[in-house]
């Protein structure tokens, strides 16, 4: 099964997975190609049958979510926007930058929310990251970042770009992410809803709650997660109950164009609250699922059957858990790289003997020699067993000085000399080892 996954910079990955593959397998493959460990910040989007912008549920099969025949067309997008100092990898920060650059192309939507001055600063940072200091080649880049900009806006972007002279690409991307986080607008996930009476609103889901705007993106109301009592989705509707300033319950009825869009809004509210506001992903979120008709009939006879089971949410970790996990992973990778680069881990090669097989044989002989040596003095061969535990790890001289077994710490009642051909084998190994070293 083929999946075409496009990045924000229009680069397309062709992913070949099993016909029953789940969304997580596709996302992991793409992030592996990009050397990204912070996978949880990203998601895969696709377009629904009625032009809905939907997130692929990574815990369910791809073929059961995206309509049509393969290849399935997906988009790599930032699902959870976080502060730039929480991004530990340069590759992750670059993908966040590409995401913001693509969103800035639709600056008409963001203009009422952040103002023209902020958009000018962001455009200048994007051009600085892409082309470096201000030059003649940057003019074409201005028109790509802000396609419908007037001459006055272009002149103001140029002036702002000149002030960024000497700023490196990675630093420009970081400042852009910080500016976007301070604005809050670029971390919003918008859903168009209809209230009672046919009034159209734009509902923005973010880290600490919901923002409601009119159709022109003028701010109307904010509902924090701490005041939400319940959220329920039924067909094309989402019902929200929340407490106002007077501690009285208020209810809102959001109607969406399709059932898929209503499920997407319900998922967005639940997953954003879990990711940003919880210390862990609760079982009540992870365990929610639904079944199709075939699965429902099968569950009558076997409740644990996976047939027809579709999970409602795919959030695996919270923001805190992702940061801690990636930090540990990067530390383990750095330790592994340091061990591989250390001189002790590099075998010594002679100019006349570069055969890797010989080096491996020498190493194996050394390890076998050490295994037959007394664990206390490491000079004599193993020749004594402790009773009653039966461990044989010492020579006679060292065993006489050990009141307890060095392995299990059991009290020693007596020692027994053992007659194994270890000395002869040990001497033979030592001779072979010395001959190998002399040859190398």
What is residue 62's predicted lDDT score, i.e. its pLDDT? Answer: 93
d(CA 396, CA 419): 12
What is residue 432's predicted lDDT score, i.e. its pLDDT? Answer: 47
- Where b means 16+ CB within 10 Å and e means fewer, 392-410 reads bbbbeebbeeeeebeeeee
d(CA 301, CA 94): 50
User: Residue by residue, what is the 3-state secondary structure of 351-396?
Assistant: CCECCHHHHHHHHHHHHHHHHCECCCCCCCECCEEEECCCCCCECH
* Local mean pLDDT, 10-residue blocks, the chain (440 residues): 91 92 94 94 93 92 90 94 93 93 72 79 88 73 72 86 88 92 87 91 92 88 92 93 85 93 94 92 89 81 81 92 92 82 54 54 68 77 85 85 80 82 47 45
Which residues on adjacent β-strands are paired with residue 121? none
What is residue 102's predicted lDDT score, i.e. its pLDDT? Answer: 86
What is residue 140's predicted lDDT score, i.e. its pLDDT? Answer: 67
d(CA 149, CA 158): 12
What is residue 13's predicted lDDT score, i.e. its pLDDT? Answer: 93
For the chain, the first-to-last Cα distance in angstroms comes to 52
pTM of the model: 0.74
What is residue 435's predicted lDDT score, i.e. its pLDDT? Answer: 46
Domains in the chain and their CATH numbers?
1-80 (3.10.20.90), 97-187 (1.20.80), 190-281 (2.30.29.30), 356-439 (3.30.40.10)
């Amino acid at each position: 099964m083929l999946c075409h996954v496009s990045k924000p910079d229009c680069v397309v990955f062709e992913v070949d997975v099993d016909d029953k593959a789940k969304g997580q397998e596709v996302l992991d493959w793409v992030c592996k190609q990009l050397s990204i460990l912070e996978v949880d910040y990203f998601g895969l989007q696709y377009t629904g049958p009625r032009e809905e912008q939907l997130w692929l549920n990574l815990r369910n099969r791809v073929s059961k979510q995206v309509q049509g025949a393969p290849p399935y067309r997906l988009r790599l997008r930032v699902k959870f926007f976080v502060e730039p100092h929480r991004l530990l990898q340069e590759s992750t920060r670059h993908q966040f930058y590409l995401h913001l650059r693509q969103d800035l192309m639709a600056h008409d939507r963001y203009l009422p929310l952040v103002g023209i001055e902020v958009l000018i600063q962001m455009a200048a940072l994007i051009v600085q990251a892409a082309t470096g200091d201000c030059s003649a080649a940057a003019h074409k880049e201005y028109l790509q970042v802000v396609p419908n900009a007037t001459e006055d806006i272009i002149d103001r972007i140029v002036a702002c770009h000149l002030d960024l002279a000497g700023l490196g690409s990675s630093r420009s991307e970081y400042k852009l992410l910080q500016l976007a986080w301070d604005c809050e607008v670029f971390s919003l996930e918008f859903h168009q809803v209809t209230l009672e009476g046919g009034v159209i609103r734009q509902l923005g889901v973010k880290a600490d709650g919901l923002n409601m705007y009119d159709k022109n993106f003028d701010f109307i109301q904010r509902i924090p997660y701490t005041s939400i009592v319940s959220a329920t989705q039924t067909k094309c509707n989402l019902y929200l109950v929340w407490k106002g300033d007077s501690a009285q319950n208020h209810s809102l009825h959001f109607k969406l164009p399709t059932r898929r869009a209503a499920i997407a809004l319900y998922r967005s509210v639940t997953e954003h609250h879990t990711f940003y506001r919880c210390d862990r992903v609760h079982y009540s979120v992870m365990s929610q699922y639904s079944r199709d008709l075939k699965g429902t009939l099968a569950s009558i006879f076997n409740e644990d059957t996976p047939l027809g089971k579709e999970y409602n949410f795919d959030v695996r970790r919270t923001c805190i858990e992702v940061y801690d996990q990636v930090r540990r992973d990067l530390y383990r990778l750095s330790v592994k790289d340091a061990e591989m680069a250390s001189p002790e881990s590099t075998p010594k090669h002679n100019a006349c003997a570069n055969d890797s097989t010989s080096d491996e044989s020498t190493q194996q002989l050394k390890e076998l020699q050490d295994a037959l040596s007394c664990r206390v003095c490491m000079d004599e061969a193993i020749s004594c067993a402790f009773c009653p535990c039966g461990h044989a790890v010492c020579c006679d001289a060292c065993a006489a000085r050990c009141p307890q077994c060095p392995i299990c710490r059991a009290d020693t009642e007596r020692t027994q000399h053992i007659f194994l051909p270890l000395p002869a084998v040990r001497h033979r190994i030592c001779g072979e080892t010395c001959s190998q070293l002399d040859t190398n």
